[in-house]
A and B are shown apart, each in its own frame.
Chain A
Amino acid sequence: MSSAPASIRDRGSYLLYLIPGGLLLLAVILVPFGMNIGISFTEWSGAGTPEWVGLDNYTRLMGDGTFWASFRHNVGLVVAMAILPTLAGLVIAAALFDFIGEHFGARHAAVLRACVYLPQVLPIAVAGIVWSWILAPRDGALNEVLRAVGLDSLAQNWLGDPDFALWSVMAVMLWIQVGYPVVIFMAGMQRVDPSLHEAAELDGASWWGRFFHVTVPQIRPEIFVVLLTCTIAALKVFAPIYVLTRGGPGGSTNVPSYYSFQNFFEKTQVGYGAAIATVLTALVLVLTAVFLRVQNRGER
């Protein structure tokens, strides 16, 4: 060892620092994930001996209408939790940065940013319960307000009507999510060289022109990060569905993670639940890989 070149010794000592994280990754992520994959090839009620069934759970999954419906609902949630918050976040961040920050000072912009970010800080259980009160059909705040201003016909059974439930959950999720991109994008805007904006302004570019041709391209890495993390969050969304609707009414807001949970714990079909979780994880991994590849290509 003592005769080894210095660079190898250095590398060895660096590796030492990776051990704690590596061990945690192994114990908390990789081992359980491996076990989950193993369980997905079995029929198991959660106790006793699992019975090996090969690909049966996956075959069943392919023909399970509830599973596919839950994925369709997930598409809606990707829109509500990733695409719309990213778009809205861009506009709000730019408005706070360029307009409020410029005209009213950085402190006002920071206060407003904190207000928009607040839903991210609230525990989801609290936010969910408060929203279920707001959206309650009979004396919920939203319907009360609509009735008070004479818009009785717009009052709905927001979470209890299958035609509205998913839209209502999407709206709540948009409210929760939008603060995250705002904070990330505002941080990104701070590192954009002001001379680029000045040059564009001298060339006669409007605010929208500068926004589209300077700000957005400059903070592209942040946009990718937000889109990636929010899409993953949308795909594995569980807590808001559990608190707001429990997948109802009539399965109209069911999502794969909740469906997996139902199979794990309610139906005690642990093998089938594990298969759903495995497919969901595989999908998240594939999407992540695609995102990162596209981002790398964009950077090149």
Chain B
Amino acid sequence: MSKRLLAAAVAAVLAVAGCGGSDGASDPNTLKLWHYEGPDSAMGVAWAEAIKQFEASHPGVTVKFEEKGFEQIQKTASMVLNSKDAPDILEYNKGNATTGLLSKQGLLTDISDEVAKRGWDKKLGPGIDTTAKYDDRGVMGSGKWYGVPNYAEYVMVYYNKTLFDQQGLAAPRTLDELTAAMKKFVAAGVTPLALGGAEYPAAQLLYQLALTQADRDWVDRFQRYTGDVDFHDKPWVFGAERFAEWLREGYISKDSAGVKAEDMGLSFMQGKSPIMISGSWWYGRVQAQVKDFEWASVPWPGMTAGSSGNLWVVPEGSKNKQLAYDFIEITMSPAIQDKLRDAGGIAVAPGETPVTDPKTKQLNDDFKALVDGDRLAFYPDWPAPGFYDAQVSSVQKVITGQIGAHEALTEMADYYKENTASVGK
């Protein structure tokens, strides 16, 4: 009895601990797909349609879709992809610390041949394809293709047109015009700029300000390690000092250190703050929710944080890679790209169908101008794992007056240096 009991116990422990059980066999007629876009988002709408088209064009094949959370995939992808439970295709975050890291560790399929064969590389413009290619160190921008993006995003200036009109202000197309507009609002007793210091927006704003003085070489050195990075060079110092100045002048509230991104967005959408500098991920929501005033957006003057959207990646352990490539092909088709665009997203390879909604048209036209001008500068937290928290913390300290602009740059420099030292190792 005791031996049998022991054997059963060991089997049970292994099963519970996830070490036994399934042999990892996969059904050749099932495409296991994960993504984390909400069903109402532009991508969610487009990809639901892509799944339908895929099943119609692949009789007998079923798509087994599992909706995941962004953080769920971000935090557990490496462990899941290392196991037998990996899907055949999934949406994954772009950048060195995510797709780059997994590609370096051999967990993702090199899809370069497929990209060339199907012509996806021709559909993605410069700046868009940067996040899809990674070298042997896992650094983006060159090397093999490990993913395909089919939407994009960028940071812009949202403004309350009704309030601007009341102040006699025009669309703020340059940094000087933006500053003058904020000055006028402060004089009228209004804090003009909504900002969330507890999350990404404040660090992004500092980066945006630095980007007004930056060029492609500066961005590449910072993001792709193509040369020396000096956090006390002209763009960084300009960005940090201007950020501190905006705090001093009252353009940004000193209370914004504890404000989350969501509350920043609500402040703009409820008409409490006339300006918000943030990404296109707000666009659809602003369009749907703002009814009490007129709003508009203008591109950020100069280079701007932005890139392709997240990527479709094919795990190395995928058993149905051809089906996965077929699915990507469908998401890159003009019909699905137009569907994505018409649902409020930024299509990277739109078809010929004209856009009907003027705001959607502007969003996509502005993006095209950014790509044509090679002005996408990725996001400030990408170069080093955990840089997000470090930047949020440093910029929060500037907002609360714990440290000055230059000390914040020093903190960021130290973190960058320490945490990029192991890149490629």
Contacts and interface: CB of A to CB of B under 8 A. Distances in A.
A155 B254 CA distance: 14
A153 B392 CA distance: 28
Contact of A266 (B17, B257, B385): B385
A239 to B, nearest CB: 14
B402 interface: yes
A130 interface: no
Given A47-B78, A160-B400, A249 B197 contact: yes
Contacts of A264: 75
Contact of B197 (A45, A160, A262, A267): A160
B419 interface: yes
A251 B395 CA distance: 11
Nearest to B256: A160
Contact of A23 (B9, B272, B393): B9
A245 B254 CA distance: 17
Given A157-B255, A248-B392, A27 B198 contact: no
A251 B69 CA distance: 26
A250 B393 contact: yes
Contacts of B272: 138-139
A155 to B, nearest CB: 10
A246 B261 CA distance: 13
B108 to A, nearest CB: 10
Interface string B387-425: 011001110110110110000000000000001000000
A129 to B, nearest CB: 9
B9 A249 contact: no
A267 B385 contact: yes
Contacts of A46: 78-79
Contacts of B397: 162, 249-250
Contacts of B399: 160, 249
A149 B198 CA distance: 29
Contacts of A138: 253, 255, 267, 272
For chain B, which range describes its interface: under 10, 10 to 19, 20 to 34, or 35 or more residues? Answer: 35 or more
B400 A161 contact: yes
Contact of B198 (A158, A160, A162, A268): A160
Contacts of B17: 27, 31
A153 B386 CA distance: 37
Contact of A267 (B82, B263, B267, B386): B386
B74 A248 contact: no
A249 B386 contact: no
Contact of A45 (B105, B263, B402): B105
A226 B107 CA distance: 47
A251 B415 CA distance: 15
Given A250-B402, A262-B386, A268-B386, A132 B13 contact: no
Given A158-B258, A268-B386, A248 B263 contact: no
A162 B402 contact: yes
Interface in B100-152: 101-102, 105-107
B81 interface: yes
Contacts of A123: none
B322 to A, nearest CB: 25
A137 interface: yes
A61 interface: no
A196 interface: no
| A-side interface size class | 35 or more
B12 interface: yes
Interface in A242-300: 245-251, 262-269
Contact of B258 (A24, A47, A157): A157
A157 B399 CA distance: 12
SS class, residues of chain A in contact with chain B: loop
A159 interface: yes
Given A48-B105, A157-B258, A250 B97 contact: no
Nearest to B411: A250
A286 B402 CA distance: 36
B25 interface: no
Given A19-B9, A45-B101, A161 B389 contact: no
A233 to B, nearest CB: 23
A137 B260 contact: no
B101 A249 contact: no
B400 A249 contact: yes
Contacts of A27: 12-13, 16-17
Contacts of A268: 78, 97, 101, 385-386
Interface in B5-59: 5, 9, 12-13, 16-17
B45 to A, nearest CB: 27
Nearest to B71: A265
B255 A47 contact: no
A157 B389 contact: no
B61 interface: no
A4 interface: no
A64 B95 CA distance: 28
B253 to A, nearest CB: 7
A245 B197 CA distance: 11
Given A47-B78, A249-B397, A268-B97, A137 B386 contact: no
B259 interface: yes
A23 B5 CA distance: 12
A160 B394 CA distance: 13
Contacts of A245: 198, 258
Interface of B: 5, 9, 12-13, 16-17, 74-75, 78-79, 81-82, 97, 101-102, 105-107, 197-199, 253-260, 263, 267, 272, 385-386, 388-389, 392-394, 396-397, 399-400, 402-403, 419
5 contacts: A31-B13, A160-B197, A246-B392, A266-B388, A268-B78
Interface of A: 16, 19, 23-24, 26-28, 31, 45-48, 132, 135-139, 157-162, 165, 245-251, 262-269
Return the 10 tightest CB-CB contacts between A and B, nearest first. A160-B258, A267-B386, A137-B255, A47-B78, A27-B16, A160-B257, A249-B396, A159-B258, A250-B397, A48-B105
Given A136-B263, A247-B389, 18 more contacts: A24-B16, A26-B13, A28-B16, A46-B79, A47-B81, A137-B259, A138-B267, A160-B255, A161-B257, A245-B198, A246-B389, A262-B386, A263-B386, A265-B75, A266-B386, A266-B389, A267-B385, A267-B419
